[in-house]
Amino acid sequence: MNVLFEPEPKSVHSALERLARAGFQVLDFDFCDWLFEGSPLVGDGWESWIKSIRQHADRLGLQFTQMHGPIFNKFGDEEKTKWFMAMSHRALEAASLLGCSWVVLELEPLPGAFDNQHLQQLKERNIAWIAELLPTAERCGVGIAIENNADVPDRERKRRRAYGSTPAELIDLVDTFNHPLLGICWDTGHAHIQRLEQAAALKAIGKRLKATHIQDNNGEQDQHLLPFHGTIDWQSVVTALREIGYEGDFVYEVHNFVRPLPDRLRDAVLRYAVEIGRFLLNENPL
């Protein structure tokens, strides 16, 4: 839904109406967009605000199925980290109120050699972080989908390795829990930057796949473009999703494609986005 994001509560209902008119059926709610001072999501009345969004979506025939949870330094000990952790619990509660089945979260890296000892340390620390959230997930009936990252997201960030960038690391972590409310979210753009063979990666993940972030890029930067506007092989991606029996939704993360446009052009681009999605989801799209 953040393709039309404006940092004002009143903008949400308008965004829902425009997305419905464009032909969207399911949506992702980006919790990250509302983590600012004065946001209705961080105040005391957040539940009423979320419920009003759900009611408006229901009237329009729209369904929230995913949420992107907070991104932060999970291993810090400062007050800001503790606040973000509290907001992660709130994300699960808000997702339940919206009707989302899955909240997408990212693993946390730590600098190191990325040898076996370091990887084990990363695994253990991420396990502890997820374990703290699982009781809330169970109470709310909402799953946690761990998103694949990319070792070099873009040239500007200068980050070399990121834990959870490979199918093996994701599978190892998720299988350690063997919990029905813990799965994987596949970000096609991150996988492309990682130079992964996406069909093989998706087949390895199999039924662990619970959510998607569908986006394209040039293989170098996390551009968040619509399919066919980068260099991803979409035939292999959609074929693999079909072959593994993926039961979730085909959810865009393409805000960089829509947000920069003049507002008068956004509705046309949203309709275009729906047509691309329908084309890709046909039986034999390419």
Any idea which residue has 């275009």 for tokens? Answer: 272
CA separation for the pair 170, 88 (Å, rounded): 20
Both tokens of 202, joined, read: 């998706």
Report the CATH number at residue 221: 3.20.20.150
- Can you give the pLDDT at residue 152? 73
Residue 30 counted as domain residue = no
Is 141 within the bounds of a domain?
yes
* pLDDT for position 50: 97
Task: Please check whether residue 11 lies inside any domain of the structure.
Answer: no
CB count within 10 Å of CB 184 equals 26
Looking at residue 282, what is its pLDDT? 84
Is residue 58 domain-resident? no
Secondary structure of the chain in the HEC alphabet? CHHHCCCCCCHHHHHHHHHHHHCCCEEEEEHHHHCCCCCCCCCCCHHHHHHHHHHHHHHHCCEEEEEECCCCCCCCCCHHHHHHHHHHHHHHHHHHHHCCCEEEEECCCCCCCCCHHHHHHHHHHHHHHHHHHHHHHHHHCCEEEEECCCCCCCCCCCCCCCCCCCHHHHHHHHHHHCCCCEEEEEEHHHHHHCCCCHHHHHHHHHHHEEEEEECECCCCCCCCECCCCCCCCHHHHHHHHHHCCCCCCCCECCHHHHCCCCHHHHHHHHHHHHHHHHHHCCCCCC
What is the Cα–Cα distance from 46 to 236, expressed in whole angstroms?
A: 41
- The number of angstroms, rounded, from the C-alpha of 256 to the middle of its chain's C-alpha atoms is 15
Q: What is the Rg, in whole angstroms, of the alpha carbon atoms belonging to the chain?
A: 18
pLDDT per residue as tens, the chain (286 positions): 667 666 555 589 999 999 999 999 999 999 999 999 889 999 899 999 999 999 999 999 999 999 999 999 998 889 999 999 999 999 999 999 999 999 999 998 888 899 999 999 999 999 999 999 999 999 999 999 999 999 976 555 566 789 999 999 999 999 999 999 999 999 999 999 999 999 999 999 999 999 999 999 999 999 999 999 999 999 999 999 999 999 999 999 999 988 888 989 999 999 999 999 999 998 555 5
Number of structural domains (the chain) is: 1
Output the pLDDT for position 156: 54
How many of the other CB atoms lie within 10 Å of CB of 200?
12
Residue 218 lies in a domain: yes
Q: Buried b / exposed e across 29-66, counting CB within 10 Å, b at 16+? A: bbbbbbbeeeebbeeeebeebbeebbebbeeeebbbbb
Q: Containing domain of residue 249, as a range?
A: 63-280
Asked whether residue 50 is domain-assigned, the answer is: no
Residue 286's pLDDT is what?
Answer: 54
Residue 198 lies in a domain: yes
**248: amino acid identity, one letter:** G
Which whole-number Å values give the CA distances from 280 to 121, 195, 212, 238, in the listed order? 40, 22, 14, 7
Residue 17 resides in a domain = no
